[in-house]
Amino acid sequence: MFDKQVYVNRRLNLRDKIRSGIILITGNNESPMNYPSNTYRFRQDSNFLYFFGLDLPGFVGIIDIEDGKDSIYGNDFTLDDMIWMGPQPKVKELAEKVGIQCTHPMRELGSTLQRAIRNGRRIHFLPQYRADNILMIDRLMGISPGLVSQYASVELIKAVVTIRSVKEDVEIAELDKASDVGYLMHTTAMKLTKPGITEQELVGAAEGVAIGKGYMTSFPIILSQNGETLHNHDHSQILTPGRMLLMDAGAEIGSHYASDNTRAFPVSGSFTPIQKDIYTIVLNALNRGIELCKPGVTYQSIHLEAAKVIAQGLTDIGIMKGNVDDAVANGAHAMFFPHGLGHMMGLDVHDMEDLGEDYVGYDDEISRIDQFGTASLRLGRRLQKGFVLTVEPGIYFVPALIQKWEDEKINSSFINFDKAAELIGFGGIRLEDDVLVTEKGNRLLGSKRIPVTIEEVEKIVGKG
Ligand code: GLY
Ligand code: MN
Ligand code: MN
């Protein structure tokens, strides 16, 4: 938890952006795994964490614009709770740590909201992603569960996105720490890589780095020799010499700030000539993408620039053909690079995605491009100092996609399908780094960059 003034200032900032009414920020509750008292690891809602700081289940935060009070609703622990969980602080003591004097038992939330509704006041709440909170809004405000997301306040969503998009210095320090743990997760897996073990053993070792520090991963680890499946969570294969292995993983540290990096490396520890060629193109796209990140530049333009580096590289080795600018304008690169270049990162690995991707990544000026591949770009808008985002280009050989485009002659003037088909079985290469946009440009998060050049990768893989 940060100093209480951090939370006081954040709530003041939010008040300034909402004209009138009551802001309701729901915290998360425990989530049962297979019976009520056997729960998943608790994860607080990121908006509640951001504005109210308490990392415990069972709270709701209220910011009343007109009466100027911030309140926390939640119940004190009972004696029974303390028998099972040990001594616990009172809600009042917890609230004081985040600069709040008004606390109420949860049963009073309904009357507070009902009174506001009777007085014709607007209750602003954010989109909800957990069933228990959707049902609570139904119960207390009479909005049927299927309509809750439609009643979310766009004014509040936009205000929260504006505030959370620009990271404070205290947040940047946490993001640096998360990246340092991510560095250890990746280098541990790289060192332990060797033919004959399973992918799952590397997943366990990487996840163990985070868990051993009391942390967790920021999303389920993606690790596979079939790196062409973008979010591959099947880790059952045995590592085989000659194949590439892709690992996309990050840490979520105790403050819940995230990291998110991808590396791809040869199982044997040395690249074959074609692996080196494809890897070098992706690395050039990564470095070009990072180089372009600075305030005032749209991330959509950086995505398209990275796409051109990929199309140029593939043209140079005969897999694509024709004019590179035309190829990218027609979306031909997307057969190999079918996803976006990156996303915002912070308390969530895809930061604020619960609020709606378009609110986070786009605005009145920049809208999503509706073309296969680029349509998946989560962040398009103009960068500002303090934004934290990922840069993650990739090249993949997806058999079903190559087959479809070849059968339907999609972009056939830009693709040498015979050459592409030869690389079915190659897998995929993605490289991902986390970037802080600074006043004049950017810097990578964390104290060290995870090995990324061909020489660095060959030096570390298998040296565990
Ligand atoms: N964790 C998936 C991604 O890189 O966005
Ligand atoms: Mn990732
Ligand atoms: Mn990512």
CATH number at residue 327: 3.90.230.10
Query: 34: domain CATH number?
Result: 3.40.350.10
Q: Same domain, yes or no, for 230 and 125?
A: no
In this structure, the number of other CB atoms found within 10 A of the CB of residue 84 comes to 9
Q: Which of 282, 348, 349 best tests ligand 1's pocket when mutated (most atoms within 8 Å of CB)?
A: 349
CB 369 within 8 A of CB 300: yes
- pLDDT for the residue numbered 414: 98
Q: Same domain, yes or no, for 383 and 290?
A: yes
Q: Same domain, yes or no, for 189 and 155?
A: no
- The response to whether residue 372 sits with its C-beta less than 6 Å from ligand 1 reads no
Q: Same domain, yes or no, for 138 and 177?
A: no
pLDDT in tens, 416-438: 999 999 999 999 999 999 999 99
Asked which of 164, 194, 211 is the last residue of a domain, the reply is 164
Q: Same domain, yes or no, for 142 and 66?
A: yes
Atom of ligand 1 nearest to the CA of 378: 5
Q: Same domain, yes or no, for 133 and 193?
A: no
Q: Would you say residue 413 has pLDDT above 90?
A: yes
Asked which of 135, 164, 193 is the last residue of a domain, the reply is 164
What's the total number of domains in the chain?
A: 2
CA distance 109 to 49: 19
pLDDT in tens, 81-92: 999 999 999 999
Q: Residue 419: which domain range?
A: 169-460
- pLDDT for the residue numbered 462: 97
Q: CA dihedral defined by 181, 183, 188, 189, rounded to 10 degrees?
A: 110
CA distance 271 to 426: 12
- The response to whether residue 376 sits with its C-beta less than 6 Å from ligand 1 reads no
Q: Which of 223, 247, 262, 344 best tests ligand 1's pocket when mutated (most atoms within 8 Å of CB)?
A: 262
Q: Is the dihedral of CA 53, 54, 59, 62 positive or negative?
A: negative
Q: Same domain, yes or no, for 243 and 147?
A: no
Atom of ligand 1 nearest to the CA of 219: 1
Q: Same domain, yes or no, for 173 and 227?
A: yes
- The response to whether residue 171 sits with its C-beta less than 6 Å from ligand 1 reads no
Q: What residues have their beta carbon closer than 5 A to ion ligand 2? A: 248, 260, 432
Q: Is the pTM of this model over 0.95?
A: yes
Q: Would you say residue 464 has pLDDT above 90?
A: no
pLDDT in tens, 438-453: 999 999 999 999 999 9
pLDDT in tens, 173-215: 999 999 999 999 999 999 999 999 999 999 999 999 999 999 9
Q: Same domain, yes or no, for 241 and 111?
A: no
Q: Same domain, yes or no, for 196 and 137?
A: no
Instruction: Calculate what percentage of the chain has a pLDDT beyond 90.
Output: 99
Asked which of 99, 129, 164 is the last residue of a domain, the reply is 164
pLDDT in tens, 48-106: 999 999 999 999 999 999 999 999 999 999 999 999 999 999 999 999 999 999 999 99
Q: What's the start-to-end Cα distance of the chain, in Å?
A: 36
Q: Same domain, yes or no, for 197 and 135?
A: no
- pLDDT for the residue numbered 329: 98
Instruction: Calculate what percentage of the chain has a pLDDT beyond 70.
Output: 100
Mean pLDDT of the chain: 97
Q: Same domain, yes or no, for 23 and 96?
A: yes
